[in-house]
Amino acid sequence: MWISNTMLRLSVLCGCGLSGPLNADNITLGGGSQLTGSVRSINEAGVMELASDLTPEPILLKKGTVDKVTFSSQGAVPNPPASCVELANGDLLPVTLEAFNDGKLTVVSPEAGRLEIPRESVKSLQLGILKRTLIYAGPNNLAEWSTKEGEAKNWIFERNSLISNGQATASKNLPLPQQFILRFTLRWQARQMPNFQIFFADPLKAKDNPSDRYYLQFGGAGLEIKRESASGNRYITIVRLDKRKPDMYPEHQLQVELRVNRRDTRLHLLLNGESEGKFRDPVRVVPDGSGITLVCNSPSGNPQEISDIEVLEYDDSRDDTLAEKRDDLKTDSLITRKNDRWSGHLMEIRKTDDAQVFIFKSDFKKDMLEIPATDFSTVFFAEKGAAIAEQAGHSLVLRIRGGGALRVSSCQFSDDTVSAVHPLLGKLKILRQGILAMERMDAKSVAPERTDPKPKPKIPPGP
């Protein structure tokens, strides 16, 4: 059945948490209205079929009606593979590298399985994406979170979570490096409005004392990251997301990840594993605090919860490497972990004695080079624009766990998999639990937003 205005109003109420399935996909329509249900398919004409508890028959949504689908949570997020392939059209897919020979790159994706990708369809390959060092994981008990006055105020510890009892605050001092990742999950009650503030890079001074620190706040007006400064304008908004309101999350929870680079004054925000963009801190004085402060501003009778707090080391230098301008697009370029460049032609990647080796013909060496893959961080392949597949008609973007993004034309959904056709990879069968979201391309760009890299000196052709 085609959706009616009455049905839309009922579905929007469902999306606001007043009724509807506990684990449901969340659909954002043009104009910001919300639906919940289970997405079954999207055909070549762009019509989405949605199963809903509101009707015995599926709801059909016309092409252009849906801006985004956020799929229901699938539990803990696994560690992504150690490599990421960037395709010639800009799409990204986290993979495990198997081999490169006969002009084909062989990789394994946790979501899409084993793939053989022609050389001309690959733009770059990121190698050795290491698991980040864990600084803190908790909460483990209430005693490790405190205030300047002593015990954490109005928090209780249950189910490995901090649960507020009215207005609450708690802090913890950690050995935060210049670059770090802060993750946490916020939960609130159905039909209640959350009101969280999370301070980070916090010197843990009294809140009436102006200090250099950041804080994220989430409530009925949406989500916002602010910069507090010890001098000048005390509060500056870094990013405001008015549409990221609590009723957008029918499961009444939100996973937040903040990637903080104090060295280059950059912040990267991810919600439920999906990038919301990278942002610059406009203040020159860098917050050097090492504290994290949790604040709940809701009245008693409206309990709220913070759990799954993690702090990890972080290094975003690879983002600059991928964003840098290449001088010669007609040759392959290998970048070592020490940031040296080799130009020439990658002949093969093969496995020998439980290690992978690059067979490389350098522009400046007569003999073939055999170099361990562990010595390299990035491979840029020679670009051949004519080989890039036509993008017309591929109007959907699938957001894959680990930072992946694939554009497709149509999708067929089962309980466990999504079948789709990619312009460069062909027919794909992707595990549904590995897909975070699906968007129209004209609703948001394909790749996560990047800040402009710092100016770099001209790169020599090779060592």
pLDDT, tens digit, for every residue of 267-301? Answer: 999 998 888 999 999 998 899 999 999 999 988 88
Which stretch of 64-68, 148-152, 261-265 has the lowest confidence by average pLDDT?
148-152
DSSP secondary structure letters along 259-289: EEETTTTEEEEEETTEEEEEEE---SSPP--
Give the residue with greater pLDDT, 208 vs 417: 417
Beta bridge partners of 170: 294
Give the residue with greater pLDDT, 195 vs 329: 195
Instruction: State both tokens at 29.
Output: 């329509």
Residue 440: its pLDDT value, please? 77
Measured at the CA of 112, the angle between CA 109 and CA 113, to 5 degrees, comes to: 65
Helix (H, G, I), strand (E, B) or coil at 433: helix
**Residue ranges, CATH 2.60.120.560, the chain:** 134-313
Determine how many CB atoms are found less than 10 A away from the CB of residue 109.
23
Distances (CA, A) of 355 to 126, 181, 273: 17, 31, 32
CA dihedral for 215, 143, 134, 288, sign (positive or negative): positive
Q: Which residues contact residue 237 at a Cβ distance below 8 angstroms, ignoring those fewer than 6 apart?
A: 224, 225, 226, 227
pTM of the model: 0.66
State the first-to-last Cα distance of the chain, in angstroms, to the nearest integer: 65
Residue 362: its pLDDT value, please? 84
- Which residue carries 């009215």 as its tokens? 166
Q: Give per-residue pLDDT as tens, 31-88.
A: 667 778 888 888 777 788 888 877 888 888 888 788 888 887 655 556 778 888 999 9
CA dihedral for 111, 117, 123, 125, sign (positive or negative): positive
What CATH number should be reported for the domain whose range is 134-313? 2.60.120.560
Residue 209: its pLDDT value, please? 86
DSSP 8-state code for residue 432: G
**Element (DSSP H or E) covering residue 319:** helix 317-323
State the average pLDDT over residues 17-44: 68
Length of the chain: 463
Share of the chain above pLDDT 90, in %: 38
378, 335 Cβ separation under 8 angstroms: yes
**Element (DSSP H or E) covering residue 197:** strand 196-202
